Amino acid sequence: MAQQSILKLIGQMECIDVLTNGIDGDDVIGSDYWIGNISLPYYLSLAMPYVKNLFPVTKGKIVASEGYFDVVATNIPKKIGVNWGASKGNLHYIKSVHPEQIAELVGDDCYSFNPESDGNFNPLPNDGWKTDWNITAQHMKACKGIVTVDTGTAHLAGALGIKTIVLLPKEEFVCWRWKNGRWYDSVVALRPEEYDQIPDLIRRM
């Protein structure tokens, strides 16, 4: 897998001793330099072209991937899944979009992956998916693709290798993880001025 390739490559660099998110372990204290795992997308953006090519991203189409883990899809009819609400926090209202805006871009014959509201979209089965990521993943795997704001839905879909469009906020509020790196080869992230590409990308799913 691409992730294994990049970790092997980084591990061969003599200047990097440890890849970890823990800062108190003996391996970190005894190392000359360490990189937190969550910082890898940023360092990949600084890497040489052949390293970047391990993480293909294209807006010409949305490619699926094997993903990092797999689940068995449920038998719901194949539709697009949507989530317009970011997780509650300081940037909730900035990262979220109005459900009517998603309906204008994607249509309303979609599944709602918003745990708080279905809006005018189709509800998923009432089987506990709102509190169980594994059930959520099973429903996602059955979808044609996912359109979501920057929230856990985006990362779960990317980890599953599902064709996904992430709706980013204005540039000054874009999380550095999306700004400086590409996490998943099945995900295309769009700025607000690029949202008009969504209907065409949906057709290519």
Domain of residue 183, CATH code = 3.40.50.2000
> Hey, is 164 helix, strand or coil?
strand
Residues of the domain holding 40: 2-52
Tokens in use for 123? 């509800």
Burial tier of 193 (Cβ tally within 10 Å: 0-12, 13-18, 19+): exposed
Per-chain mean pLDDT for the chain: 80
Across 46-50, average pLDDT = 56
Among the ranges 34-48, 90-104, 112-126, which has the highest mean pLDDT value? 112-126
Number of structural domains in the chain:
2
Mark whether 104 and 167 lie in a shared domain.
yes
In a domain, 61, yes or no: no
pLDDT at 2: 47
Cβ atoms of residues 95 and 169 within 8 Å: yes
In a domain, 166, yes or no: yes
In a domain, 103, yes or no: yes
Mark whether 40 and 119 lie in a shared domain.
no
DSSP 122: B
Q: Which residues of 75-96 are buried (b: 16+ CB within 10 A; e: fewer)?
A: eeeebbbbbbbbeeeeeeeebb
Cβ atoms of residues 187 and 164 within 8 Å: yes
| Tens digit of each residue's pLDDT (9 = 90 or more) over 143-172 | 999 999 999 999 999 889 999 999 999 988
Q: How far apart are CA 158 and CA 165, in angstroms?
A: 10
pLDDT at 178: 81
